[in-house]
Amino acid sequence: MSENRSDAPLREDIRQLGGLLGSTIHEQSGAHVYETVEEIRGLAKSARAGDEAAARALEKRLGELPDEMIVPVVRAFSQFLNLANIAEQHHRIRRSRAWVRDTQTGPLRGSLEEFFKRMEASGNNDSLHETVASLDIELVLTAHPTEVMRRSLLQKYNHIAELLGDGDRLDPTPEEIEEVHQSLKREITAAWETDEIRRRRPAPQDEARWGLAVIEQTLWDVVPHFLRRLDRNLQRQTGKPLALDAAPIHFGSWMGGDRDGNPRVTSTVTREVCLLNRWKAVELYERQINELVEELSLQCASDELRGWVGDAWEPYRTALKAVRDRLVATRHGSPPPPPGGGVGPGATRHWLDARLAGRRPTDGLIYWRTDELREPLMICYRSLHESGAGMIAEGRLKDLLRRLSVFGLTLMRVDIRQESTRHTDALNALTEALGIGSYAVWDEQERQRFLIRELGSRRPLIPRDFEPDEEVAEVLDTCRVIAEMGSDSLGAYVISMASKPSDILGVKLLQKEVGVRSPLRVVPLFETLTDLQGAQTCLEQLIDIDWYREHIDGVQEVMIGYSDSGKDASHLTAAWALYQTQEQLVETARRQGINLKLFHGRGGSIGRGGGPTHAAILSQPPGSVDGRLRVTEQGEVIQAKFGLPGIAERNLELYITAVAEATLVPPNPPESGWREIMDRLAERSCEVYRDMVRETPEFIEYFRHATPEHEISHLAIGSRPARRKPTQGVESLRAIPWIFAWTQTRLLLPAWLGAGSALAESLDAGRRDTLHHMYEAWPFFRAFIDMMEMVLAKSDPAVSAWYDARLVPQALHGLGEGLRERHAETRHTVLEVSQHDEPLDDAPVVQRSVGLRNPYVDPLNLLQVELLDRVRHGHEEDLRDALMICINGIAAGMRNTG
């Protein structure tokens, strides 16, 4: 199947959606707006094709736009880029289906079918079932401020994608084609008439509701469908099914639990989000039980089921109605059960509703644990099989049991994340209140002695009259929420900026002192280059503590951060430090006889560890992916990966096959001499990066002029502030707005700065052949270079020059020119290593995608320059909306921006 033929439907979809958008603009905003947009679009395409006269005319035309015309023009190009994204996502689904049908090309790389065939051919069939059946993959959804689109628009765009799917049906009638066309027109018109801008910053509870919407609208149905496919392939290949209670992939959340630098996430918020998760879970299970009540009108039943429901005429319906009543009691409440059991009629209180409102209702007969709901469903499942109706058991009922295994009664467990100094402050307040000294000034050994002594003591540590300040009280209140909600609702306690064993022990002690019966596992997060380099020592010292080793059940989870390490030391340096840290942690865990679970704090952008899932997992060090993986899915990536059913299933598939393959066939370690080369590359990259970002006095001033960093802080796109601390340096700026700002100008500096100079030095030293071999034979190095090519394909230094010319003081122009020269050097050296003529030569689909967007992103960049210039000269109130829409549009065009 040729690439051109296979892409023809995509081009047709984009043509159709673009045409419908054009007619909508003409009808809703008038001929003048439509003609202006078309003129700008034509000039942009010609300019991108190399017509310098068109480029000058485009810049002049945009500069002459009156204020009132800027908003509709910006909206037009933003909307087109969003529609192009929809068409591309739908085309990915279409191509995946085509691969399945096309027997000549074979199965798609990374698909279940391809993976199982390849494992059989490589001689790994014997251990295949055990590996797949025991996989433990957790995707942790987070709400960082990169999801710029309102949910109202996301829902419309998802419906457009569904309509494109309807249009792909075989042999549609002319009436059906016309109905799809009209429906698309209605959705595009509704999107055009919908405000793109959030008028208020979302609360953490809002972010949690968005996460629940992804579960409800997509994953709730995709997961059981995917597990059926996995089960069929596993049985076909190994002769053994996937266990009914297997959950090879499941979900966690930081929404409502991530309080690191976010004062809006409080103990009250975390409690409310946990209850919201339970409320939504019970609602979804109620729907499924109602469907089963309608379906299971059978009268045949096993003795086990009869023993439970008695001589009921329709035993399954009787059993399931009892389950439904108890679910209703859980969500809406009930009085205490009447004598003899069962749920009484006339429920008057609302249990979860009341808890959400801050009241303490009577528990009644509510569901607390997943096993309580699973037990009656399993009785029905066994009964159907024993009664000769096993085929029915394998339908909706089995899907519901699968959902229970994956989602439990909370859909996704919420992690707590807090910065290490907040715990130090809390413990210091306690020791000073007790008159035993200042915990904050004790050295590490003295802290450890105190913590271990108190962890083993039965005596309460917190005085009854203890009156902490607001911040310390919040830390203790958070631990009290852990005691209240329990481990069914909560996942891990993640400590950011962890560096010492006392950071972990301190959280263990705080949980103990407020009465947590089942303490959350405590996960140190190593982020900066220094902390990554010290992670192995910290883990060794921690495991050597007898008390700690006895209380972790042989498993230690460690989180490694991609965001702050890259911002701290350069993308290349961070990538190599993360690789080495994983190797060291794996070696320590094996030597100490414990199981290590690595938690990857990845973002959406390349500079924060983003990129293709399959390649990223397969490039990890040998032994680091041992059937277990935990990873964050952040910001707009959640919608991109899980917003549409077909895309969501494909991403679940890629996670499963990559983790299984990395476990069964781990990559070889780097060859002799490669480590020394990487050490020098990382050292040189860090020197160049820090020399620019930290040591160049005018860099911060240039950054603030040349990017919309300040204006981005006004976007209502996340509950967290842009900075951890109120200082002006890059070190206090969160990694997300740091990268987001450079993405807007299409320089993408954090992803490549330092790498080009380091590679150039290595090439000049005569290591060209070695670097070529590293690229061909080492998955880690290949993945890094491929990601660099992705960055280089998306970036455009000429666009960055537009910003400098209008927005940057003349005295700083040399700095921008120097950065663009470094970008050119990076492009040259990366292509030297990969031996490609152009970036992404071996990824033509992505290459064409970037090329398709450029003529539509270019006008938005030019308009953003114009808007920033006008806003910075006193027109802020008149043009704020246009600037916000422009930021959104560029983000849509660049994709994986945060």
636 within a domain of the structure (yes/no): yes
Whole-number Å distance between alpha carbons of 380 and 385: 9
pLDDT at site 334: 40
Say if 401 falls within a structural domain. no
Q: Is residue 90 part of a domain?
A: no
Catalytic residue among 156, 567, 641, 705: 567
User: For all residues of the chain together, what is the average pLDDT?
Assistant: 88
Residue 724 domain-assigned? yes
For 850-876, how does the pLDDT look when each residue is reduced to its tens digit (9 = 90+)? 888 888 899 999 999 999 998 888 766
Same domain for 416 and 502: yes
Q: What is the per-residue pLDDT across 529-566, written as a single tens digit (0 to 9) for each?
A: 999 999 999 999 999 999 999 999 999 999 998 877 78
Interval 457-469: pLDDT, tens:
999 999 989 999 9
Based on DSSP, count helices (H) and strands (E) in the chain, helices before strands.
Answer: 41, 8
Hey, how many other C-beta atoms are within 10 angstroms of the C-beta on 251? 25
Instruction: Kindly report the number of other CB atoms within 10 A of residue 169's CB atom.
Output: 11
The whole-angstrom separation of Cα 799 and Cα 744 is 10
Asked if residue 738 is part of any domain, the answer here is yes
Same domain? For 378 and 418 the reply is no
Q: Reduced to 3 states, what is the DSSP secondary structure of residue 848?
A: helix
Which residue range(s) make up the domain with 699? 674-894
Rounded CA separation 333/340 (Å): 19
Range 120-126 contact pairs with CB under 8 angstroms and sequence separation of 24 or more: 120/237, 122/665, 124/664, 124/665, 125/237, 125/238
> Distance between terminal CA atoms of the chain?
35
Q: What is the mean pLDDT of residues 84-112?
A: 78
> What's the pLDDT tens digit per position in 209-235?
989 999 999 999 999 999 999 999 999
* Total of domains in the chain: 3
Q: What is the CATH number of the domain that holds 567?
A: 3.20.20.60
pLDDT confidence tier of residue 785, bands split at 50, 70 and 90: very high
Cβ atoms 775, 782 nearer than 8 A:
yes
Domain boundary among 667, 688, 703: 667
Do 509 and 591 have their domain in common?
yes
> For the chain, percent helix, then strand, then coil, each to nearest 5?
65, 5, 30
Residue bearing the bigger pLDDT, 199 or 78: 78
Q: Are residues 546 and 571 in the same domain?
A: yes
Element housing 518 (H / E) = none
**Domain for residue 41, yes or no?**
no
Is residue 421 included in any domain, yes or no? yes
Clarify whether residues 832 and 873 are in a common domain: yes
Does residue 723 sit in the same domain as residue 821?
A: yes
Quick one: 615 and 708 in the same domain? no
Q: Of 655, 565, 649, whose CA–CA distance to 617 is shortest?
A: 655
Final residue before a domain boundary, out of 667, 684, 703: 667
Is pLDDT larger for residue 331 or for residue 619?
Answer: 619
Residues 887 and 745 in one domain: yes
- What's the CA gap between 482 and 214, in Å, rounded? 25
608 and 738 in a single domain? The answer is no
**Residue at a domain's end among 648, 667, 686:** 667
From CA 300, how far away is CA 296, in angstroms rounded?
10
| pLDDT of residue 123 exceeding 80 | no
Please pick, among 90, 91, 144, 280, the residue that the annotation labels catalytic.
Answer: 144
144 is catalytic: yes
Using 50, 70 and 90 to split pLDDT, how confident is the model at 421? very high
Residue 170 belongs to some domain of the structure? no
Residue 827: enclosing H or E segment and its boundaries?
helix 813-834
State pLDDT tens for residues 684-714. 999 999 999 999 999 999 999 999 988 887 6
Distance CA 306, CA 856 (A): 66
537 and 582 in a single domain? The answer is yes
What three-state secondary structure class fits 595? strand
| Amino acid making up residue 844 | P
593 and 681 in a common domain: no
**Contact call for residues 4 and 37 (beta carbons, < 8 A):** no
pLDDT of residue 104: 58
Q: How confident is the model at residue 628 (pLDDT cuts 50, 70, 90)?
A: very high
The answer to whether residues 645 and 772 belong to one domain is no
